[in-house]
Amino acid sequence: MGAPADNQPCRSLRGAIRIEDAVKIYENDDGGLVAVDHCSFNCAAGEITMVVGPSGCGKTTLLNAIAGFHSLTSGTIYLDDELLCGPEKLQAKPGPDRIVVFQNGALFPWKTNIENVVFGPVAQGAMLPADARDKARSMLAGAGLAGIEDEYPGQISSGMRRRVEIVRALINDPKVLLLDEPYRALDALTKSVMHEALLQTCYRSRVTVFFITHDLEEAIFLGDQIEIMTSRPCRTKKRLKVDLPHPRDHTIVTSRRFRELMDETIDAVHEEAAKAFRLGEREG
Amino acid sequence: MEAPADHGHPRAGAPHSAIRRVRLELAVYRALDWLASPRPYLMLLGFALFLGFWWLSVEVWRLPRFSGMPGLTTIVREWLSPEPEFGLSLFTPDYYLHILTSLQRVIIAFGLATLLGVSLGLVMGWSDAAREYIFPGFEILRPIPALAWVPLAILMFTGTEAPVIFVTFLPAFFATTLNTMLGVRSIDTQYFRAAACLGASQGYVFRHIVLPGAMPFIFTGLEISMGLSWFSLVAGEMISGEYGLGYVIYTGYTMISYPTTVIGMITLGVVGYLSSAVIRLIGKLLMRWRARELGLEG
């Protein structure tokens, strides 16, 4: 990924994910629902990998397997060459090295924003509460969220809630940030600003990002690499490296290279979307 | 290019004294607004219609089934007189003794029910194993009405207070436990997953996710069980009490001093309402996040 921030010391990138031959079959009365069918791909450390596919194709299942919420039926997932889950150990253990930002937002409504942000460090005992608060305050300020620390999530807009949730994840210095269609419920105008904000955050922190979306424009704008998934059961249909230069801003969406990339991928995405539509897939 | 900064946020940097003054002004404004609206007058009209019907049906028109009842003027005169004909009014010290006895019993029973009920409810809500062991037996005992327990209560407990408190405790306990359990089960799985990602231990999750997440349900349960406590207290007092509002109501009937009965009923209504209101207030204070969230949506 390009353009590191000037004051960021060069450090080795972490969070490379390697998925090998993942299969997930849900048991049900009809014998078994195959959600993921021999899926393999890699997410390079420090880069943003976008996973694009129609609703219900099984991409959230992959995210849940990486995060440790579900087990895999077979296959292996490695994080920085360490085994996360595999034949000997079917389910990973959730932890602060792979933090999820959820689709509908999972900020704890009964805690103020700053209490939410310090939740990780305080729960793990990694920082003293006072130090955690100071760090949280400065990280919130850096994300343009100063002034809302003592309010509750229910009092701020959903766009701001997403940003607070991302800060809540990043304060733990995770290896991987797992984003499950976080901007799905936002309007298009807010979304475009959120994208720029997310890129700024990524330039600063160099965290590896695994981002699920159904929006191809979002994928090309944000991503360094795109995995286009087939409809359920999911498998990689097409892989694409996005060679747009960093730092990117909203003007890049109308550039010729952007449109060329859209051209290359839109047919593949549309084909799978039509299949899912005919099958009547439910969102995960 | 920088992420958009929220400089225009209204509360950034305001001093606390200014915030307090604004809150006071807001409260005064809301009170005046309420007085200026039709709401308080509709409320008074509602009371007036009810009391008016009572007065008219008993004392003026003397309708067939109503003529034997104590009339509104009789009750009011009795309640407010320093020398009440039937022995109980605002000026007799016995009146307050009865209220305090009942109140004391309710507080003890409700307190026990809350302590044991919330604890058991949290355990059953959180642990699938505990729920499987305990819930079936719990659900068989729950429908047994409080009064059916009175004979057993008199056998099990010595003295006059303990059986009454036990009978009052039971329905409150069942309601609180059930609501607490449902409250824990109502917490979205995403919150547990988020906490796991953030490295929280089970104990931390219990204190910071389970307990606050179940609070809205717990407080609904507490309001319900406060009402149930009064309900079953009166029934228990009718049978085994010497003082108390239930005793007053029942002996008013047996001694044919019906105004006393009605005074007891009205007092019960007012005290019961006030105790529920106290619970609601405590709930609002403990769950400021919910009040603000709902306030903004309203």
Q: What is the ipTM of this complex?
A: 0.88
Q: B-chain residues within 8 Å CB-CB of A111?
A: 208, 212, 289
Q: What is the pLDDT of residue A188?
A: 85
Q: What is the pLDDT of residue A3?
A: 46
Residue among B3, B194, B292 whose CB faces A102 most closely:
B194
pTM value surpassing 0.95: no
* Average pLDDT for A73-87: 88
> Is there a contact between A257 and A221 (Cβ–Cβ < 8 Å)?
no
Which residues 230-249 on chain A approach chain B with CB closer than 8 angstroms? 247, 249
Q: What is the pLDDT of residue B185?
A: 95
Q: Do B5 and A146 touch (CB under 8 A)?
A: yes
A100 touches B: beta carbon within 8 Å: yes
| For residue B295, pLDDT beyond 70 | no
Q: What is the pLDDT of residue B298?
A: 35
pLDDT category, B123, cuts 50, 70, 90?
A: very high
Alpha-carbon gap, residue A227 to A213, rounded angstroms: 10
Q: What is the enclosing helix (H) or strand (E) of A227?
A: strand A225-229
Q: Is the dihedral of CA B287, B288, B290, B291 positive or negative?
A: positive
pLDDT category, B241, cuts 50, 70, 90?
A: low
For residue B4, give the chain A residue with the closest CA: A144
B194 touches A: beta carbon within 8 Å: yes
Q: Do B190 and A102 touch (CB under 8 A)?
A: yes
Percent of chain B at pLDDT above 70?
93
Q: What is the pLDDT of residue A37?
A: 86
A193 touches B: beta carbon within 8 Å: yes
| For residue B194, pLDDT beyond 90 | yes
Q: Is the model more confident about B154 or about B271?
A: B271
| For residue A147, pLDDT beyond 80 | yes
For strand A208-213 and strand A33-43, is the pairing parallel, antiparallel, or unpaired? unpaired
Q: What is the pLDDT of residue B68?
A: 77
| For residue B170, pLDDT beyond 90 | yes
Alpha-carbon gap, residue B43 to B46, rounded angstroms: 5
* Average pLDDT for A140-166: 90
Q: What is the mean pLDDT of chain B?
A: 86
Question: Distance between alpha carbon A206 and the CA centroid of its chain, in Å?
Answer: 14
pLDDT category, B297, cuts 50, 70, 90?
A: very low
Residues 6+ apart with CB under 8 A from B258: B69, B70, B252
Shortest alpha-carbon distance between residue B36 and chain A (Å): 29
B293 touches A: beta carbon within 8 Å: yes
Q: Which two tokens stand for residue B221?
A: 């349960």
Shortest alpha-carbon distance between residue B19 and chain A (Å): 14
Distances (CA, A) of B156 to B161, B163, B165: 12, 8, 12
Helix (H, G, I), strand (E, B) or coil at A48: strand
Of A136-140, B33-37, B269-273, B275-279, the least confident: B33-37
Q: B-chain residues within 8 Å CB-CB of A154?
A: 289-290, 292-293, 296
- pLDDT 10s digits, A38-67: 888 889 898 999 999 887 778 888 999 999
Q: What is the enclosing helix (H) or strand (E) of A18?
A: strand A17-26
Shortest alpha-carbon distance between residue B11 and chain A (Å): 7
| For residue B2, pLDDT beyond 50 | no
Q: What is the pLDDT of residue A164?
A: 94
Q: What is the pLDDT of residue B277?
A: 92
Q: Do A172 and B198 touch (CB under 8 A)?
A: yes
Secondary structure in 3-state letters for chain B: CCCCCCCCCCCCCCCHHHHHHHHHHHHHHHHHHHHHCCHHHHHHHHHHHHHHHHHHHHHHCCCCCCCCCCCHHHHHHHHHCCCCCCCCCCCCHHHHHHHHHHHHHHHHHHHHHHHHHHHHHHHHHHCHHHHHHHHHHHHHHCCCCHHHHHHHHHHHCCCCHHHHHHHHHHHHHHHHHHHHHHHHHCCCHHHHHHHHHCCCCHHHHHHHHHHHHHHHHHHHHHHHHHHHHHHHHHHHHHHHCCCCHHHHHHHHHHCCCHHHHHHHHHHHHHHHHHHHHHHHHHHHHHCHHHHHHHHHHC
For strand A74-79 and strand A17-26, is the pairing parallel, antiparallel, or unpaired? antiparallel
Alpha-carbon gap, residue A157 to A190, rounded angstroms: 10
The CATH H-level (homologous superfamily) assignment of domain B93-293 is MetI-like (1.10.3720.10)
pLDDT category, B296, cuts 50, 70, 90?
A: low
B207 touches A: beta carbon within 8 Å: no
Q: What is the pLDDT of residue A11?
A: 57
> Is there a contact between A210 and A63 (Cβ–Cβ < 8 Å)?
yes
For strand A208-213 and strand A82-85, is the pairing parallel, antiparallel, or unpaired? unpaired
Only one residue has tokens 């801003």, namely: A249
Shortest alpha-carbon distance between residue A214 and chain B (Å): 21
- Pick from A86-100, B206-220, B246-260 the range whose average pLDDT is largest: B206-220
**DSSP secondary-structure letter at A171?**
T
Residues 6+ apart with CB under 8 A from B56: none
Q: B-chain residues within 8 Å CB-CB of A193?
A: 4
- pLDDT 10s digits, A180-206: 999 888 888 888 888 988 998 888 888
* Residue of B207, B218, B213, B221 lying closest to B187 (CA atoms): B213
B199 touches A: beta carbon within 8 Å: yes
What residue segments make up the domains of chain B, in order of their start?
16-69, 93-293
- pLDDT 10s digits, B22-67: 888 888 888 888 888 888 888 889 989 988 888 888 888 888 877 7
The number of C-alpha atoms within 13 Å of B163 and in the hemisphere containing its C-beta is 22
Q: Crossing angle, helix A129-142 and helix A158-170, to 10 degrees?
A: 130
Q: Do B190 and A69 touch (CB under 8 A)?
A: no
Q: Is the model more confident about A29 or about A169?
A: A169
pLDDT category, B175, cuts 50, 70, 90?
A: very high
> Is there a contact between A105 and B206 (Cβ–Cβ < 8 Å)?
no
Q: What is the pLDDT of residue B3?
A: 45
* Average pLDDT for A166-177: 93
B198 touches A: beta carbon within 8 Å: yes
A284 touches B: beta carbon within 8 Å: no
Q: Do B293 and A197 touch (CB under 8 A)?
A: no
A99 touches B: beta carbon within 8 Å: yes
* Average pLDDT for B191-208: 93
* Average pLDDT for A11-30: 83
* Average pLDDT for B219-248: 86
Q: What is the pLDDT of residue B89?
A: 80
Q: Do B199 and A104 touch (CB under 8 A)?
A: no
| For residue B1, pLDDT beyond 50 | no
* Residue of B217, B216, B76, B234 lying closest to A154 (CA atoms): B216
CB burial of residue B104 (10 Å; 0-12, 13-18, 19+): middle
Q: Which two tokens stand for residue A265?
A: 């991928």
For residue A173, give the chain B residue with the closest CA: B198
Helix (H, G, I), strand (E, B) or coil at A24: strand
| For residue B244, pLDDT beyond 60 | yes
Q: What is the enclosing helix (H) or strand (E) of A180?
A: strand A176-180
**Which of B1, B19, B184, B197 is the best residue to mutate to test the A interface, defined by the most A CB atoms within 10 Å of its own CB?**
B197
